Amino acid sequence: MRRFCYFVVVLICAVGAGCAVGNDSVNDVFLLPDPVSDGSLSVEQAMQRRRSVRAFADTSLTVEAVSQLLWSAQGITDSRRELRTAPSAGATYPLELLLVVGAVEGLDAGIYRYQVAEHALARIAGGDLRSDLARASLGQAFIGQAPLSIVFTGVHGRTARRYGDRAERYVAMEAGHAAQNVYLQAVSLELGTVVVGAFRDEQIAELLRLESAEKPLYILPVGHAE
C-alpha cells in the first residue's frame, strides 16, 4: 500500500508541470520510515518516568523518532478497520497533526501535515518558523528551542455532525489521549515533551495556514531534555 502511494506521488510529480523539489517547494510528500511496535521500556516505567520537559538541548531529532512519535499520536494499528493508537468518538477522527520542523535529520525546516493513512508528511511551507511559533505561544521561548513541535488541531465539525454540542468536549479529550501517547513514546525514545495549551489561536492558525474549520488545540515541543 505504501509503495503504491509512493508510486502515485512520483507519478503526480512526474506529470505535473509545477512539481518542485528543494527547500522552497511546497506540497512535497515525504514517506516516513515504518514505526516499530515494540520496545524495551515497559508501559509502567514510561508512566513512572513521564515528566513535562521545558528545556531542550541543541541537538536534532532523527526522522525515525519523528515517525515513531506521530505513530504514537495517531498511527494506524489495525489496517483493516483503520483503528488508531488513540480512540476516537464514533471513529470520527477530528484530530490533525502539523509539524513545525526546525532540526530533524533528513527533513528540511518547514511546516508539514501528517497524513495518517500513508504515514507520510506533506510539506505546506518552507523555512524555520520555530520562533514565529514561540511568539504566537505567548513567548514561551522553549518552543523556539525544541528541534520540533507537533501541533494538534481539531476539525470539530467531523465529530459535531454526530455528537452535537458534546463534540467540543470529545475533541479536547481525544487530544489528551493522543498527547499522552506522545509523552510516553517520548520517554521510551529518551526524549522529552510538554503539552502547551496557551497560545493565540488566530496567530497559530495563520502560521499553519489552517482553514477556518480547523482549530489549534495543543503544541507539543519535542527534543532531548537539556
Note the residues at the interface with its own copies (CB under 8 A).
35-52, 68, 72, 75, 77-78, 83, 85-87, 89, 163, 166, 168-170, 172-181, 183-185, 187-188, 194-195, 197-198, 217-218
d(CA 175, CA 96): 10
> Which residue, 63 or 173, has its beta carbon nearer to its own copies?
173
How far apart are CB 15 and its own copies at their closest, in Å?
A: 37
Torsion of CA 194, 122, 60, 139, to 10 degrees: -40
C-alpha distances (whole Å) from 132 to each of 60, 168, 204 are 19, 27, 9
Please identify, using beta-carbon distances, which residue of 29 and 155 lies nearer to its own copies: 155
Nearer to its own copies, 115 or 159 (CB): 159
Toward its own copies, which CB reaches closer, 84 or 135?
84
Which of residues 60 and 72 has its CB atom nearest to its own copies in the complex?
Answer: 72
Minimum CB distance to its own copies, residue 94 (Å): 12
Shortest gap between Cβ of 212 and its own copies (angstroms)?
Answer: 18
Partner residues linked to 25 by β-bridges: none
Residue 121's H or E segment, with its range, is strand 120-126
Greatest Cα pair distance in the chain: 53
Nearest-approach distance from CB 6 to its own copies, in angstroms: 23
Rounded CA gap, 116 and 83, in Å?
A: 11
Strand ranges across the sheet with 110-115: 29-31, 120-126, 110-115, 95-101, 148-155, 214-223, 192-193
Distance CA 97, CA 153 (A): 6
Q: How far is the CB of 207 from its own copies (least distance, A)?
A: 19
CA separation for the pair 123, 28 (Å, rounded): 5
Q: Minimum distance between the CB of residue 156 and its own copies, rounded to whole angstroms?
A: 11
Nearer to its own copies, 22 or 164 (CB): 164
